[in-house]
Chain A
Amino acid sequence: MAPRVLAIVTKEFKDSIRSRWLISFTVISFFLVIGLPFVVAYALGMMAPGIETLISGTTQVVFPFLPLIALPIGSAAIVGERDRHTMELLLAQPISRVNIFVGKFVGIFLAVATAILVGMGVAALIIMEVPTIQYFYVIGIAYVLTAAMLGLAFLISVVSKDRNMALGIALFFWFLFAVLIDMGFLSMIVTMAFDPVYMIPIVVANPLELVRQISTYALIMTPKMMANPISLGQLGLAMVKVFGASGILPFLYTSMTAWVLLPLIGSFVLFIRKDV
């Protein structure tokens, strides 16, 4: 990485890693990852939690916090500079807007990624002693969700007039993903009123639900479970019907890739073209 971009990456990393939101997330996710599997195992009458309990506990309870961290932090990245009157001086330096954008994105991403690694990774180490490859996969999915949320946050940041507006929109999106189009609630309504196939666009519209489904189909569902309509559920049956059993994961991966790339490219293009 060019030294000039590195200067921006370093500054963004330091600024973000000191943020109270990120520190709070690290602590909360650490205790959730440590405690949840035992709570779930106890509720199911098991002696000790297995990897499945850890994965589903993490994706169901810890993942909803990820947009709550990435969206507010990322939403201040561009508009915050404008609000503090530091953007013009930054743009007037011998560095391209591409490098400024990349530096900011990478710096904030690395900070959130570090928080995820510390919060979720260290907790898993304590529980499992030797972490399994599946858990690294969960952390990888968390990184993908973070990248998608940061891309969306940067888009919000570029189009917002001030930091408060950006924060408001960011929190609205978190509420939208974590509460309004939560599958547990919506699937019930859609299944009752329409064909379960209509649940697929709802999954695609919610990156939080997408990563939950990815971790379920990539890590938990065995071929035996895939053959069982009860373990597939209404959504699983609908996806098997549309994509076939082997097409579900590629579809989910493609949808998630679009969630990472589209907002990021959109915010990038707007930032490059926007006047000071």
Chain B
Amino acid sequence: MSAQSIEVKHVTKKYGKFKALDDVTFDVGKGKIYAVLGPNGAGKTTMFRCILGLLNFEGSILVDGRDTRKEGKWVRENIGYLPQHSAPYDDLSVEDNLKFYAGIKGVKPQRVLETLKDIKLVRFRDRKARALSGGMKQRLMLGISQLSDPPILILDEPTSQLDVQGQLRFRELLGELLGRGKSVIISTHLLREAHEIRLFKGNVLVINRGKLVGSGLVDDFMNKADLREHLLIDVGAYDAQNMLHAVEKAGFKDAEIHKGQIVVACEHGDKFELLKALDVAGFTPTNFRVDEPSLEVAFMKATEAP
């Protein structure tokens, strides 16, 4: 039994002369969560397909010590995969979709009902997949990936179709999965989701143009890339200087006045604290917006030489 869930060694995947993956090497520890960050087209999905043995590639990938090219079926039995652009069968009902995949995965029929309960779609079990909302479809897809209760989950942009409630529920689900000792890999092109992974003390793998350009704890990545958000608060009828003092007094030193707004650099989870502190100091903001740093900027910062 390997100490790592997944070992990716010098993997290169070419489409003609184009290298979709270029000498990528990393390990995924058991029971850990990894965020694979990268802009669209960076090579995240290609890497997942290689791990699942769906593509030919150079190098080697071991899943729990087994070669993904030689034992692809075993590998796919132990990895629940949620593809980014995949969909359930529109002509089948929610339950029939689950039954079909249960048949292919060779799991017991009672898992279908359990999964329906897990994904909270029992009420919609007879509804055709084509009649489901985007969020419901995504829940169904998540259910399919977990039908066999696999030890590893690879989720490619899992929250792209989810509404706010769905995203909150997804965060709960991540906690549950990690609590049950699963290894989870999530790809995203949104920094917001990397922040979520941070809550679970997760790791990050940064891929850009087919190369692994950074890896480590999400915290370290965030610090290195200076991924603070900027809160832009309208001054309104208040005195701008006084309001700025209140901001600084609340502990937010990196703040300035710009075009009738107070611009404050803050961490993802600190925005509410700042707004509350301003309210207590007698400055109730009438309007504000949040500027998130782009992933491209983050990459540049995270990968530049020290």
Contact = CB atoms under 8 A, between A and B. Distances in A.
Contacts of B76: 92-95
Contact of A86 (B72, B86, B104): B86
Interface of B: 15, 49, 52, 54-56, 72-74, 76-77, 79, 81, 83, 85-91, 100-101, 103-106, 141, 144, 148
Contacts of B49: 88, 276
A203 B245 CA distance: 93
Contacts of B52: 92
Interface stretch (A5-13, A54-62, A64-72): A5-13
B156 to A, nearest CB: 9
B283 to A, nearest CB: 50
Given A7-B103, A89-B144, A275-B55, A84 B90 contact: yes
B87 A95 contact: no
Interface in A258-272: none
Contacts of A89: 81, 83, 86-87, 141, 144
Interface string A70-106: 0000000000000011101111111110000000000
Contact of B100 (A3, A11, A84, A276): A11
Contact of B87 (A6, A7, A11, A85): A85
Contacts of A275: 15, 54-56
B86 A3 contact: no
B73 A95 contact: yes
Given A92-B81, A93-B76, A276-B54, A4 B104 contact: yes
Contact of B89 (A6, A10, A86): A86
Main secondary structure of the interface of A (DSSP, over half): helix
B121 to A, nearest CB: 17
Given A88-B54, A275-B56, A93 B86 contact: no
Contacts of A84: 87, 89-90
10 contacts: A4-B103, A85-B86, A86-B86, A89-B86, A89-B144, A92-B52, A92-B83, A93-B101, A94-B74, A94-B105
Nearest to A8: B104
B206 to A, nearest CB: 24
Given A11-B100, A276-B54, A93 B105 contact: yes
B210 to A, nearest CB: 15
Contacts of A92: 52, 54, 76, 79, 81, 83
A248 B55 CA distance: 46
Given A88-B83, A275-B54, 12 more contacts: A7-B100, A8-B104, A10-B103, A15-B91, A85-B87, A86-B89, A88-B54, A91-B54, A92-B81, A94-B74, A96-B72, A275-B15
Nearest to B75: A94
Identify the 9 closest CB pairs spanning chains A and B, nearest first: A7-B103, A94-B77, A89-B86, A92-B81, A94-B76, A88-B83, A85-B87, A93-B104, A276-B54
Given A85-B87, A88-B85, A92-B81, A6 B103 contact: yes
Most buried by A among B55, B103, B104: B104
Contact of B86 (A8, A10, A88): A88
Contacts of B15: 275
Interface string A9-25: 01100010000000000
A20 to B, nearest CB: 13
A86 B88 contact: yes
B141 to A, nearest CB: 8
Interface string A104-146: 0000000000000000000000000000000000000000000
Given A91-B54, A92-B81, A4 B87 contact: no
Contacts of A10: 103
B143 to A, nearest CB: 12
Nearest to B83: A88
B55 A7 contact: no
A94 B106 contact: yes
Contacts of A93: 76, 101, 104-105
A15 to B, nearest CB: 7
Contacts of B106: 3-4, 94
Most buried by B among A10, A85, A96: A85
A35 B93 CA distance: 40
Nearest to A87: B86
Contacts of B85: 85, 88
A89 B86 CA distance: 6
A94 B79 CA distance: 9
A275 B46 CA distance: 10
A164 to B, nearest CB: 18
A94 B74 CA distance: 7
Contacts of A15: 91
B56 to A, nearest CB: 7
B280 to A, nearest CB: 51
Contacts of A4: 103-106
Contacts of B105: 4, 93-94
A86 B148 CA distance: 19
B148 to A, nearest CB: 8
Contacts of A85: 83, 85-87
Interface string A249-260: 000000000000
